[in-house]
Amino acid sequence: MTVTLEVDEGVGTVRLDRPPMNALDSGTQDLLKEVALEASGRPDVRAVVVWGGEKVFAAGADIKEMQAMSYEDMVDRSRALQESFTAVARIPKPVVAAVTGYALGGGCELALCADHRIAGENAKLGQPEILLGLIPGAGGTQRLSRLVGPSRAKDLIFTGRMVTAQEALAIGLVDQVVPADEVYARARAWAERLARGPAYALRAAKEAVDAGLETDLETGLTIERTLFAGLFATEDRTTGMRSFVEDGPGKAVFRTAG
């Protein structure tokens, strides 16, 4: 299995394991979708870490596989390619990408599907598809521009250049830079903290932000208002407000299952 899901204390680790560079061939893409859907549906998974191992996150698509594909082949495959990444982006729980080494092409696009990105000091990220006579096809032109702005996204996409972890941090492509040997531990700590939080509120917060970015402000406010009101029906809201009144802020203990 080139993609697996390991669950421990509310944190699901989506592990890419296709040595030596975690190239994302079609089989790996299909497994990624399966695992993302599993993480989405499992109540014992409350936060997710996407991790490629200590040496490399993912160096991109399998170019040898792609080279042999015709236009008709890619017309048939491109939707499945995007759907595998979209399945990660739509996991209704907090998702953090733990990036070590290369995150290029599809690897960078996979990191873009996370809510938070923690990179090692050795990380290099980029969208080099233009060097193959292509453009990003798994969300890079869309998610990258929404994250770092159109001008910076075009610079990376037009040139195909790689950026260091520090430049990625400066332009907002990653959120933290840590020593390479601490990446997974830091990502897991981020996920563990949120795994103890109110699951339905976190889900609503993610949906409100993501859906709101795709529409106008007025519609976004309607989405927010609806989700906000709906949380008044949850046990976590009762627990959180009772704890605040009786014990002060930040001391609520939420359900850790379901």
Beta bridge partners of 118: 98, 176
- The single residue of 61, 87, 119, 204 carrying the catalytic annotation is 61
One domain, residues 142 and 209: no
One domain, residues 138 and 242: no
One domain, residues 231 and 133: no
> What is the spatial distance between Cα 200 and Cα 145, in angstroms, rounded to a whole number?
29
Q: Two tokens at 95?
A: 């998702």
Asked whether residue 257 is assigned to any structural domain, the reply reads no
Cβ proximity of 26 and 76 under 8 Å: no
Asked whether residue 52 is assigned to any structural domain, the reply reads yes
Averaged pLDDT, groups of 10, the chain, 258 residues long: 96 97 96 98 97 96 90 91 96 98 98 98 98 96 97 98 98 98 98 96 97 96 97 95 94 76
Q: In the prediction, which pLDDT does 255 show? A: 82
One domain, residues 43 and 133: yes
Is 133 tagged catalytic? no
One domain, residues 127 and 228: no
- The single residue of 52, 105, 106, 107 carrying the catalytic annotation is 106
Q: Two tokens at 165?
A: 């972890």
Q: What CATH number should be reported for the domain holding residue 101? A: 3.90.226.10
Starting at the edge strand found earlier in the chain, the sheet holding 162-164 runs 102-104, 124-126, 162-164
- The single residue of 109, 114, 137, 187 carrying the catalytic annotation is 109
Q: What dihedral do alpha carbons 152, 153, 155, 161 form, nearest 10°?
A: 120
Q: For residue 218, report the phi and psi dihedrals to the nearest 5 degrees.
A: -60, -45
One domain, residues 227 and 129: no
Is 83 tagged catalytic? no
Domain that holds residue 234: 199-247
Q: In the prediction, which pLDDT does 256 show? A: 63
Is 109 tagged catalytic? yes
> pTM score > 0.85 for this model?
yes
In the block, residue with structure tokens 């933290």: 176
One domain, residues 181 and 69: yes
Asked whether residue 252 is assigned to any structural domain, the reply reads no
DSSP state of 233: G
The count of structural domains within the chain is 2
One domain, residues 142 and 77: yes
One domain, residues 24 and 148: yes
pLDDT tens per residue across span 68-117: 999 999 988 999 999 999 999 999 999 999 999 999 999 999 999 999 99
- The single residue of 36, 52, 129, 204 carrying the catalytic annotation is 129
Is 129 tagged catalytic? yes
One domain, residues 137 and 50: yes
Amino acid at 146: R
Q: In the prediction, which pLDDT does 62 show? A: 87
Cβ proximity of 150 and 187 under 8 Å: no
Strands (E), 203-256: none
